[in-house]
Structure formats: structure tokens, C-alpha cells
Structure 1
Amino acid sequence: MNKIVIILLMAAMMAGCRKNEVPLVNGGLPEERIMERLAELRGKLTGAENGWMASLTTTAGGGYGFYMKFGADEKVSMMGDLSEDAATQSQTSTYRVKWVMNAALLFDTYNYITLLQDPDPKVSGGKAGSGLKSDIEFEYIRSSGDSVILQGKKYQNYLYLVKATAAQATDYQQGTVVDRMEAIQDYFEDHFNNYINIDGLPNKISFIVNDDKRLSFQYADAKDSIITIDGKFNFDVSGINFSEGLVVNGIQFKKGALTGSTLKLYDAGGKEYTVSQNPTPVIPLKLLFAYNKTYNTILIGSATLPAGVTSGFNSVFNGMVSRFVASSRSIDSVRIVFSNSTQGLLEIRYKSGTTAFQAALSFSYVLKDGVLTLADYAPVLNGTSSNWTSRIDQIGSFDQWIRSGPFKIDWVASAGSGGKILGGLYKVSDPSDFYYGDLRKR
């Protein structure tokens, strides 16, 4: 027994004497590799003579662009595309490079990046309590050439850093980003139904940019299936930047820029694609309109039809409005809704004094290849009576008009709509006579 104890003690002593036989990591001790990794990240951040162009997407919002310059004193100066002030006023805060299972960059005082996670919705437009769901601590993933890639510790969004040239740094510091922001925003205020063409795709590709710095490419493939590619963007000194790229039919789009009054997109290889405009959206409405698709409602939202459209229906509608007014009533809205795959509803919402009423006509329908055939019309009862029946003198010729199909579903062009998306039901027997209004999803 004593021999066993002695042997165990000797083994323990020998193990204790071999401290330097810790397994090596990539040729060095773990603590050495940690220090090297931290020094690598710190050196790259501070080694960019002209600073960095940075881009970051958020989980609850769009994309954001920044210009950053890191100092050896752990201070960083920053500008961003969050607002005109952020794009013109440099802000200095502090940062740290630390080890948390890997080298990481931490912004530890309030700046334009931490503003994105501000829990007050009035600050960044995000959700109460979580802001735009963005990070302030980023893990060092890798570097390549003039780029450094980091990833948010909590929300996993990537922070891309690209070394700025001297000219780009000067542009940022002179507020050029504001000029780009305003020019592109102005462009989309009066350019509608934007699209591009791509070799190999027979149909035009819709290019949609939203106010929250999100964008989409959308097109119909050869089988009439709708393909949608969603992404986010930020502004920079060149124009707009798709930091993570958007791949359409194998082509990765990276940037966009205005050349005079023309917007052009660029793929990863630098090829140029001109953004053009169509009188109406480029995807056929018959592929988007159904009870379970993008739109299922055509709405006339007041007693006035959308401006700039000539149709035989105009006199039918305006006559109905006048008759309601003559009976001391006023129309609030008219809508045609596809309730399910076989049933629809025509609703006229109106007021008598301050009391709201609804006159509704139900119908069955068949929608095939964009042609709508209606049948089985029936006034909707309110208890034992029907407002459609009681108001038939005011509704007048509109009742006959809706029964005069079949109709074709298609877009409606209007120079006076201000970019509003209009759809219509065109009589197959007379395409110049069509009901039209705003497209909605009820």
C-alpha cells in the first residue's frame, strides 16, 4: 500500500515540474497568442493614416456609414450618415481593444455608434428599450488588404472597415456625405418605378429604396414567380454603399452613385448598370394582386379620385359623389377587396352628419391570367336591411358599372400621382373605362 502512495506522489511531483509543457497554440503559448492578436487589431486600427470608411447594418433598422480615425491614445474621432449634424460634425470618444474569447473592439463612451442602440425611440427611431438593436462591442474576425471585418457580440451584425484614401478623408471632413445624401434623397422623390436590366434575365428588375435605408431588387422569373432580394445600405462620399452586397442572378451589387441626373449601380467587378424609370411598376400587377399576395385592395380614399387619370369611370364616380352630397351625406372611401380565394366585397363608406355607415355589395369571382370575372352579386345585410339597397338611388350607375365586367387587373399610370402606386380594373370590352385607386393590403 505504501508503495502505491509513493508512486502516486512521485507522479504528481513530476507533473508539477513540467510547467513549460503546456500545449502550444499556433506555435506559441496561449497568452502569447492573445497578446499578438490584440496587438494585431490595435495596430491595424491605429495604422490607417487617413482613417477608415466604416459600414454597419442594424437588426431593427437599415445600414449606417461612418468615417473613423483611431488614435494610439484610445480615442476615436467619428462622423456618420445618421443625420446632417453627424455627417458634418466630428465627435471624439474613447475605445478599447480587449480580449473576450477573442480580440474585440469596444466603444466605451457615447458616440454615433452607441446612439444606434439608444433605448429612446426619439433618438434613433428604434424600438423602446432596444433602439435599432445594434452593438458597441465587436469581435475581430479577420483582415485582408486594406479591410478589417468585425462582428457584433450580441446582434451579430458585421462592422466593415476599409482604409480611406487622403481624398476620401478630406471629403468626409468637408461634409461631402451630406451632399450625397441630399442628392440621392432628392432623386428618389421625383424618380418612380425605378429598374435595371441584367443580361440573362428577360424581365426588368425593380429597384426599390425605402426611407429607412433598406432596399430591394424584385423581378418576375420565367415561371412568373416573384423573386425578391432585400438588403440595407448606407451613404458614403461616393453615394450609396451595400456593405454586404446584394446578389441578383449571381451578380453582386456593391455601390450606387449619381452621375449628373442619372443613378448608376456597380457590381463587385465594377460593371455599371443604369437605373431607368417606367411609367408604371415593372412587375405585372396580376402577379402581385390576390387575396394572399402583396395587394388585395383597390382603394379610393376620399370623395376625390387620384389626380391625372382619364377614365370613363370618372363620370360614374363623380356622379355618385354628387348624389350622396345632394342627400346630405358624404363619401369617405370606396374599396374593392378580395376577402379570400373566391369571395370579394365592394364597400362604400359614408357619413350622414357625424354618423358613419357602410353600403356593401358582396360577389364571387374567378381570377385567371389577370382577368377578373364577377358573379353572384348580393347586398350585404345590416341586421334585416341593406344600406346598399337603401342607398341605391345615390349609388346609381356605379351599381351597373361593377356588374359590367369582366375586368383586367393592371397598373394605372398617372403623372399627377406623385409616385403613388395605382391599380385598376379595366373593362375587357372597353379598356378606357376603368375603376382605379391606391393599392393596399387589407
Structure 2
Amino acid sequence: MKRIFHLCLLVVMLLSACDKKEEIAPGEKPDERLNKTLTDYKNQLVGAENGWKAVLYPDGGAAYSFYIKFNANDRLSMLSDMNASSAATALESTYRLKAMQRPALLFDTYNYMHILADPDPSKSNGEVGAGKYSDFEFSFESVTPEAITLTGNLQGSRLILTKATKDEADNFIKRIAEKVKTFESINNFATYFKKLVIGNSSYDISVDTNLRQITFTYFEGTTAKTFTTDYYYTETGITFLTPFAVGGLNITGLNAIQYNATNRNISFTVNNVAGNIQESARPTRIDVEAARSFFNATGDDYLVAESGFTVNGVPDAYKVSSITNFYFVAFWPKYGTSNGQSYDIFGVVTQNPTSGQLTLFGPAAASRLTTDGRIVYTLLGTVGTQPAGVEAIMTPTIALWTNTQGFYVVTTQYGVDLVSASDGKSWINLYR
């Protein structure tokens, strides 16, 4: 009987032990730990006496710099290098730290970061409905006393915050904005071709200052190659997101950039070697194969232009797009034959706003390929019926297209550009 009693007592003690819950010390519960982490992160953001430098790398490419001062009342002040003028205008907005799948930093009212993500292209100069594929809600990836790395929750953009000094708080964006203004002076160049020269090496480049993208053209034997990289601005120049490495050169960016307005010339250094970007009437080397391929195109397809020729830096200089009911320009190689002569057309397409019917008219010309890689057009006549009142538009357009010097052909990502060989100051962008 005594043994049975002891066994029962043991069972009661074991059951009591199972019912007893282990006590969790204060601050060890998951939500308490997360709240403490968020508090620590906020204290670090607010505690930076001189605020933070920030570089945002949108998923759409390139990168943008900011200066941010976080305040304890969940408000912040922000400057940006999105354009040269934005450096002078601080935007205030709110922010908050929130427990999501990971601790997150949300910029929850409109500021410069929202502009990059804005789906309205008039705001971001980005794509309709997507902007520049950027973020304004981020999760913390790594945190050190001097730097914080975050990842965008929607697009996967990368945001890096670095503690600023007093001098950087006052001048970081201001100095960068000066370099934005300097480098974007390349848009003042009158010629299509821009030649980048470093020592004995020369390359044709094209720059899209909206996308912050630069393309180099170089040759491997007789084959033209292109290399494109995004870039972002620094306090001394621009840095390439992907270095351009060819012919013994490794160009990671352009430093100490300066603009000479008189000569329309941008000077810089690369690895302490002086260089410059200058206007050029012709390419550094003519891509004869591009001209030959374009010349040999069949009449099965045409290329489209959204407007007429750019002349001396003025887009659609002759106002082709102002023609009533203008739809697009159709450049059609080998459109037809006349008396055994093949001809191309520079067709202006209009669309009846009521019926939707398309009408085409414009000059027809025979083309020939020169030995040095130019295409020259000789006027033969017209196709379609030219509307009344467009002579002032079409006459200079036809004269330019049939200039006896012809055109260089430049292959692009979406089609070709025809560039006047007479001075390189007139061109038209054609795409498929």
C-alpha cells in the first residue's frame, strides 16, 4: 500500500511539473525584441547629429543621391540630386519604422523617393505605370554604427545610408548638383557624335541623362561593338555601375569634370590621366557594316520615327509632327520600283480622326552606298498626295534627306539613327 501511495504522489508531482509554464524574462518575447530593435534603429537614425548621406539604386537602373535628416517626431527633411535644381529645395515628409516580415523603414508621405517611383511619366521621366522601378518602403538588411543597408519591399531597390559629417550635411547634395549640371551640359552639344578621348584612345559615346546611362562604341576588328552602363553622380564627377574595360583601359567613372561652354567641351580625369568629351562631325570610325545592312534591307519592313529631323540640337526642327492629323514618319527602304529603279520613301503617315484611315505621302529617292560607308539619297519624285500648306515643312525636310553628302548609319538598341555626313548636326531616330 505504501508503494502505491508513493507512486501516486510521484504521478501528481510530474503532472504538476508539466502544468507549470516556463517564465519568460521581460524583453525576451518576440514582439518585445522586435519593438526594441525598431526603437534602437530609430534612435540611430535620429541620433546622427549631421544626418545621413544616402544612395538609392532603383531596380530600373542608375542611382540617385540624397541627404536625409530624421527627426524624433517622425518627420524628416530630404534633399536630392534628381536634377540640378532640386539641390536647393528640401522636401519634408513623414517616416515610420514598422514591424513587417522584417523591421522596415517606410517613407510614408510624398518626397523625392516617391517621385522616382511615381507611375506618372511627367513626374519621374520613367515608364508609364512604373516610373523608374524604385521603392519608398524598405526592410533593414544590415546595420552598423556608421552605415545602414536596406532593400526595397516592392521592387528590390537598394538604399545605403551613411552618416554625414557637418561639411557633408551642408554641401553633399550641393556639390553633386554642380556635377549634374556640368555633365548634363553634354545636351548642349550641337553634333550627334560625341567623342570621348583618353590619351591615345578615342570612343564614340551617347549619353541618356534622363536614364543616367552612357554607351561606348568600339571595334573588335571590323565589327562594331557597344557597351552600356548606368552611372550616378558623385561630388567630383560620375561613377559607372559597371566599369568599361577594353584595350587595356579600365574606366570606372569620370572625375574632376568641367564644362567649357565656349568650346562645348567636357574635361575630366580617369586614373589621373586627362581626357575630354568633344563634339565631332563624324564618327571616330565608320561602321561600314551597319550602312551596308541598312542599304540592303528589303521592302518587307519599314522603320518609324515619332517626328522629323533634329537639326542643331532642335528636335523636329522643321515641325513635321505639326502636320494636321500627323501619326508617324514611315521610313521604308526598297518601297517600290520605277522604270526598273528601286526607291525608298520618307513617308509621312496621317490618320483620319473619325474613320481611323491612314494616309501616306512623301518623297521617294534612290539610294546608293559609298565606299566609305555613307548612304546617299537622290530624289526621284513623290508618293501619295501631299496636303496643301505643308510646303514650308516638307521642302527643307526633303532637301536635308537628299543632301549630296548623305548619312552615316548608327545601329541602336531599337533600330538605327541616320546622321547627316555634312556636319553631324542633323539626324533622325528610326526604330522598328
Q: TM-score, normalised by structure 2?
A: 0.59
Q: Which residue of 2 aligns with 1:392?
A: none
- Listed one character per residue, the Cα deviations across residues 20-62 of structure 1 (whole Å, up to 9, x for unaligned) are 7xxxxxxx98667645754564354334332222232445586
- Of residues 284, 287, 290, the one that matches 2:286 is 284
Q: Measure the CA separation in 2 of the matches of 1:380 and 1:127.
A: 40
Q: Measure the CA separation in 1 of the matches of 2:251 and 2:31.
A: 40
Q: Which residue of 1 aligns with 2:228?
A: 230
Q: Which residue of 2 aligns with 1:245?
A: 241
For 1:142-161, what aligned pairs fall within 5 Å after superposition? 142-143=142-143, 146-161=146-161
Closer, same or farther: CA 125–219 of 1 in aligned 2, 3 Å = closer
- Of residues 208, 214, 217, the one that matches 1:216 is 214
Q: Measure the CA separation in 1 of the matches of 2:120 and 2:171.
A: 32
Q: Which residue of 2 aligns with 1:137?
A: 137
SS in 1 for 2:220: coil
Is residue 88 of structure 2 the alignment partner of residue 92 of structure 1?
Answer: no
Q: Tell me the amino acid that sits aligned with residue 189 of structure 2.
A: D
Native 8 Å contact 2:408 2:418 kept in 1: no
Q: Measure the CA separation in 2 of the matches of 1:278 and 1:437.
A: 13
Q: Measure the CA separation in 2 of the matches of 1:117 and 1:161.
A: 19
Q: Which residue of 1 aligns with 2:184?
A: 185
Q: Which residue of 2 aligns with 1:162?
A: 162
For 1:90-129, what aligned pairs fall within 5 Å after superposition? 90-129=90-129
Is residue 401 of structure 2 the alignment partner of residue 441 of structure 1?
Answer: no
C-alpha displacement of 1:122: 3.5
Q: Which residue of 1 aligns with 2:275?
A: 274
Q: Tell me the amino acid that sits aligned with residue 76 of structure 1.
A: L
C-alpha displacement of 1:157: 1.7
Is residue 419 of structure 2 the alignment partner of residue 422 of structure 1?
Answer: yes
* Percent of residue pairs bearing the same amino acid type: 22
The structure carrying a bigger strand percent of its residues is 2
Q: Which residue of 2 aligns with 1:204?
A: 202
Q: Measure the CA separation in 2 of the matches of 1:35 and 1:14.
A: 31
Q: Tell me the amino acid that sits aligned with residue 246 of structure 1.
A: T
Q: Measure the CA separation in 1 of the matches of 2:16 and 2:22.
A: 10
Q: Measure the CA separation in 1 of the matches of 2:34 and 2:407.
A: 64
Q: Structure 2, unaligned stretches of length 5 or more?
A: 1-10, 313-328, 336-340, 349-358, 385-397, 411-416
For 1:10-409, what aligned pairs fall within 5 Å after superposition? 14=18, 17=21, 34=34, 38=38, 41-59=41-59, 63-83=63-83, 86-143=86-143, 146-171=146-171, 175=174, 178-190=177-189, 193-196=193-196, 204-235=202-233, 238=235, 240-242=237-239, 245-249=241-245, 251=250, 253-254=252-253, 256-259=255-258, 261=260, 263=266, 271=272, 274-277=275-278, 279=280, 280-289=282-291, 291=293, 337=333, 345-347=343-345, 357-358=361-362, 360=364, 370=373
SS in 2 for 1:65: strand
Q: Measure the CA separation in 1 of the matches of 2:343 and 2:87.
A: 50
C-alpha displacement of 1:87: 2.0
Native 8 Å contact 1:147 1:161 kept in 2: yes
SS in 2 for 1:168: helix
Q: Measure the CA separation in 1 of the matches of 2:212 and 2:62.
A: 5
C-alpha displacement of 1:109: 1.7
Q: Measure the CA separation in 1 of the matches of 2:16 and 2:366.
A: 89
Q: Measure the CA separation in 1 of the matches of 2:424 and 2:268.
A: 37
- Listed one character per residue, the Cα deviations across residues 369-427 of structure 1 (whole Å, up to 9, x for unaligned) are 948899xx9x99989xxxxxxxxxxxxxx9xxx9x9xx997579xxxxxxx97244xxx
SS in 2 for 1:135: coil
Q: Structure 1, unaligned stretches of length 5 or more?
A: 1-6, 21-27, 308-332, 384-397, 413-419, 425-431
Native 8 Å contact 2:259 2:267 kept in 1: no
Q: Tell me the amino acid that sits aligned with residue 218 of structure 2.
A: A
C-alpha displacement of 1:71: 2.4
C-alpha displacement of 1:78: 0.7
CA RMSD of aligned residues (A): 5.5
Closer, same or farther: CA 56–271 of 1 in aligned 2, 3 Å = farther
Q: Measure the CA separation in 1 of the matches of 2:164 and 2:428.
A: 45
C-alpha displacement of 1:77: 0.9
Native 8 Å contact 2:291 2:374 kept in 1: no
Q: Measure the CA separation in 2 of the matches of 1:255 and 1:223.
A: 27
